[in-house]
Amino acid sequence: MAPSINKMAELAAQHLMCESVSNPGERFLVRYPGFQASLDERRRYVHAFLEWMIRPDNFETLLARKRENAERLFAVELIQKGIEEVSTSKFEFYVDWNLWALWFMRLPKERKPRWAFPKKPKREEGEGPSQRFADLLEEYNQTGTLFPDQTTQA
């Protein structure tokens, strides 16, 4: 079922109304790319919003680390379900969703902005399986984990 026009307008407007942690009093002015944004459009929007909302001094480093964690979290979820191949669009969509959740995890519930892309992307013509997921699956098969720095407690 496609999202209603009202739902789309509500999602497009909700980030304009958020109160930034890093930029109090300023409004987020980046144009919402729509439900079916391409990977690049969605990434640009998400990057801009994360940076506007909470911008630590080490933003780029932290963003890269959290994106890596988001990739690994989703890969583990797929691996635990026995999935061995996933489309690039699906993998990257859920990586972005996990990144969003990780970025705002310390905010109180009432301050957490809603994910603005509730509809999974359509598979693009000629799109193949995610190479990143394939690499993570291979790493998991070789090492038994995707989080080697964490110790497992019995």
User: What pLDDT is stored for residue 153 in this prediction?
Assistant: 39
Strand ranges inside the chain, DSSP E: none
**What are 101-145's pLDDT values in tens digits?**
999 999 999 999 999 888 788 787 889 999 999 999 999 999 999
The answer to whether 115 touches 100, Cβ cutoff 8 Å, is yes
Cα-atom radius of gyration of the chain, to the nearest Å?
A: 17
The gap from C-alpha 85 to its chain's centroid, in whole angstroms, comes to 19
Distance CA 36, CA 116 (A): 11
pLDDT tens per residue across span 65-100: 999 999 999 999 999 999 999 999 999 999 999 999
- In whole angstroms, give the CA distance from residue 119 to residue 7: 12
Mark 54-80 as b/e (b = at least 16 C-beta within 10 Å).
beeeeeeebbeebbebbbbbbbeebbe
Instruction: Report pTM.
Output: 0.87
1-53 per-position pLDDT tens digit: 555 667 767 776 788 888 899 989 999 989 889 888 889 999 999 999 999 99
Residue 124's pLDDT is 78
For the chain, what are the domain ranges? 5-121+129-143
The β-bridge partners of 87 are: 129
Per-residue pLDDT, averaged over 49-68, amounts to: 96
Which helix (H) or strand (E) element contains residue 148? none
The region, left, alpha or beta by phi > 0 then psi within -120 to 50, assigned to residue 112 is: beta
Q: What is the DSSP letter of 129?
A: B
Confidence band (pLDDT; 50, 70, 90) for 62?
A: very high
Give the residue from 125, 123, 119 showing the smallest Cα distance to 96. 119
Does the structure show a pLDDT above 90 at 63? yes
pLDDT at 152: 45
Confidence tier at 154 by pLDDT (50, 70, 90) = very low
pLDDT on residue 5: 62
